[in-house]
Amino acid sequence: MSNYFYVSPEQLIKDRAEFAQKGIARGRSIVAAIYDNGVVLVAENPSASLNKISEVYDRIAFAGVGKYNEFDRLREAGIRWADSTGYTYSREDVDARALANYYAQHLGDMFTEGQKPLEVEILVAQLGNKLRPTKLYRVAYEGTISDEPRFAVLGGDAETIKDRFALSEDSLQSLTVTLQNASRALSGPDRVIPAEELEVGILEDRGNRRTFLRLSDEQVKELLS
Amino acid sequence: MGLPLFSAHGDPGPSFWHYADTVGLAPLAAVLHDEAPHATTVIAVRYDQGVVMVGDRQATGNYIASRDVRKIEPADRYTALAISGSAARGMELLKIAQLSFEHYEKMTDSALSLEGKANYLSPIIQRNNLSSPLLVLPLLAGWDESHLVGRIFEYDGAGGCYERFDFATIGSGSPFAEGALRLGFRSDLDREAALELGALALYEAGDNDPSTGGPDFVRNIFPMMITVSAEGFQEIAGPEVGGRFRLINERRTESRGVAGGSLR
């Protein structure tokens, strides 16, 4: 016979939150920001193939921090959801808010009912047009969803990076300036992150249906110089 | 529909069609029993820097249902897909192909190879054609980015996929187009010569097959002409296409309808 000990709900939630936070803090952070012509997502990522930033739909991008296998599964689910919604209805009907809500519900369920909470934090970015506004939705490990007005920081070091980025930003800037600020905010004053270790994706209208573009190392280097 | 999450062993992978099948979206499977507009001629010709495709614009049922149908569409930047057979099923196949290639690219962060795209369509065509009287037969042509050549893939009714190294035709006007292509094709065609041959072959099909729409000088509606090369899918502008067909028509008028000889 095994013994069951009583654990108060407060303690359980606290333990689970601590567990998830610890997992997320191990990874590096991501900054997403709105610039004068679109949205830029910047991740510190030494790997050139294990991506943290991804295209989801014509005007929607995804970013995730924490455990790779966990946020990558969410990324795939997001692409499937978006493609099948657009297939069933119309491409116009695919909305980032709906996707962010599904993510929030799933993360919330896993936090309270799962074997363990997911050690991830994700961002759903939407480039606006005449139908919808430009949006950054941040979804935390326990399912809290927040609508970030100008920029969002994900990851363990979020508060510090947020302060550094907020200081350097007062109105909507160009892509170059925004990327430089994001890079400086991610690195802090004591180091410089080489362009090869920055993963950068943008959502920008370039006359194509698909607005997502992954910037190459050369493009990032040029924008940072 | 909620968030489509799968366990590792039940995951349908980056294939949209397999995913749609898993969750019961199941495109191209149900059987309908009315005859939809069909009949077509689409031609693909390989040239030294890519492929040319020419397709007529007419949808035919018991009467002409439409005169300005687009039967060739870009499946992605480097792939053109043409349809013949049931219009409804053809449009559905186009939609599935476009969606699937993009889906794969987003899921894996890399594009499918041209051969991969051609093979992907095989079981979809097979499933449709063996379960429904509304047959659909596509023609896929594109620029192979890894081998730097234009390539053409045709299908049989059961979904078999075959690469053609010269030219291919689909639709009811095929025998007439094929005749012109067999006489005019050379392995060293350049873009201009391939466009000229493609236009002539389509003219022949329109002339002989009642279900293929030739150039319509009254309404100014002309067959679609496109190329796929290293520059991607490019549609030839209406006035240029009109000019090509006007030229063929003038020669044919001069020869009093005789197709052979110097006025060909």
pLDDT tens profile B242-264: 999 999 999 999 888 887 765 55
Q: Is residue B37's pLDDT more than 60?
A: no
In a domain, A118, yes or no: yes
- From the list A77, A84, A214, the residue facing B25 with the nearest CB is A84
- From the list B5, B25, B103, the residue facing A79 with the nearest CB is B103
Among A90-104, B20-34, B186-200, B222-236, the minimum mean pLDDT is found in B20-34
Interface test with B, best of A50, A53, A79 (most B CBs within 10 A): A79
Cβ contact (<8 Å) for B20 and A55? no
Mean pLDDT score, B40-66: 92
Instruction: Convert the pLDDT of each residue in A14-63 to its tens digit.
Output: 999 999 999 999 889 999 999 999 999 999 999 989 999 999 999 999 99
Confidence label for A80 from pLDDT (cuts 50, 70 and 90): very high
- Confidence (pLDDT) at A66: 95
Confidence label for B35 from pLDDT (cuts 50, 70 and 90): very low
In a domain, A47, yes or no: yes
Cβ contact (<8 Å) for A77 and B107? no
Number of domains, chain A:
1
Which chain B residues have a beta carbon less than 8 Å from that of A74? 3, 5
Nearest-Cα distance to chain A for B16, in Å, is 8
Q: Is residue B120's pLDDT more than 80?
A: yes
* Domains of chain B by start residue, with CATH: 36-254 (3.60.20.10)
Q: What is the CATH number of the domain that holds A126?
A: 3.60.20.10
Cβ contact (<8 Å) for A106 and B3? yes
Domain range for residue A85? 22-224
Cβ contact (<8 Å) for B106 and A56? yes
- Confidence (pLDDT) at B34: 46
- Confidence (pLDDT) at B262: 58
In the predicted model, what is the mean pLDDT of chain B?
A: 90
In a domain, A121, yes or no: yes
Cβ contact (<8 Å) for A79 and B3? no
Which chain A residues have a beta carbon less than 8 Å from that of B3? 74, 77-78, 81, 102-103, 105-106
User: Are the CB atoms for B57 and B224 separated by under 8 Å?
Assistant: yes
Q: In chain A, positions 103-162, which contact chain B (CB-CB < 8 Å)?
A: 103, 105-106
Residue in chain A nearest B108 by alpha carbon: A76
Which residue type does B4 have?
Answer: P
- From the list A73, A80, A85, the residue facing B19 with the nearest CB is A80
In this prediction the ipTM stands at 0.90
B82 half-sphere exposure, CB direction, 13 A CA radius: 35
- Confidence (pLDDT) at B29: 55
Residue in chain A nearest B5 by alpha carbon: A77
Which chain A residues have a beta carbon less than 8 Å from that of B99? 83, 86-87
Confidence label for A168 from pLDDT (cuts 50, 70 and 90): low
**Chain B within 8 Å of A216 (Cβ-Cβ)?**
no
Residue A126 pairs with which residues in a beta bridge? A60, A135
Residue in chain A nearest B2 by alpha carbon: A102
Mean pLDDT score, B99-110: 96
Instruction: Convert the pLDDT of each residue in B216-239 to its tens digit.
Output: 999 999 999 999 999 999 999 999
In a domain, A91, yes or no: yes
Q: Is residue B22's pLDDT more than 70?
A: yes
End-to-end CA distance of chain A: 67
Per DSSP, the three-state class of A82 is helix
Confidence label for B38 from pLDDT (cuts 50, 70 and 90): low
Per DSSP, the three-state class of A157 is coil
- Confidence (pLDDT) at B189: 96
Nearest-Cα distance to chain A for B110, in Å, is 11
In the predicted model, what is the mean pLDDT of chain A?
A: 93
Interface test with B, best of A68, A84, A124, A213 (most B CBs within 10 A): A84
Mean pLDDT score, B158-170: 95
- Three-state secondary structure along chain B? CCCCCCCHHHCCCCCHHHHHHHHCCCCCCCCCCCCCCECCCEEEEEECCEEEEEECCCEECCCEEECCCCCEEEEECCEEEEEEECHHHHHHHHHHHHHHHHHHHHHHCCCCCHHHHHHHHHHHHHHHHHHCCCCEEEEEEEEECCCCEEEEEEECCCCCEEEECCEEEECCCHHHHHHHHHHHCCCCCCHHHHHHHHHHHHHHHHHHCCCCCCCECCCCECCEEEEEECCEEEECCHHHHHHHHHHHHHHHHHCCCCCCCCCC
Cβ contact (<8 Å) for B3 and A83? no
Nearest-Cα distance to chain A for B210, in Å, is 35
Which chain B residues have a beta carbon less than 8 Å from that of A87? 16, 20, 25, 27, 95, 99
Comparison of pLDDT for A122 and B20, the residue scoring more: A122
In a domain, A97, yes or no: yes
- From the list A81, A88, A214, the residue facing B3 with the nearest CB is A81
**Chain B within 8 Å of A73 (Cβ-Cβ)?**
yes
Which chain A residues have a beta carbon less than 8 Å from that of B95? 87
- DSSP class of residue A156? T
In a domain, A192, yes or no: yes
Mean pLDDT score, B62-72: 88
- Confidence (pLDDT) at B27: 62
Q: Is residue B145's pLDDT more than 90?
A: yes
- Confidence (pLDDT) at B32: 47
In a domain, A9, yes or no: no
**Chain B within 8 Å of A80 (Cβ-Cβ)?**
yes
Mean pLDDT score, B93-107: 95
Give me the active site residues of B, please.
40
In a domain, A17, yes or no: no
Residue in chain B nearest A91 by alpha carbon: B99
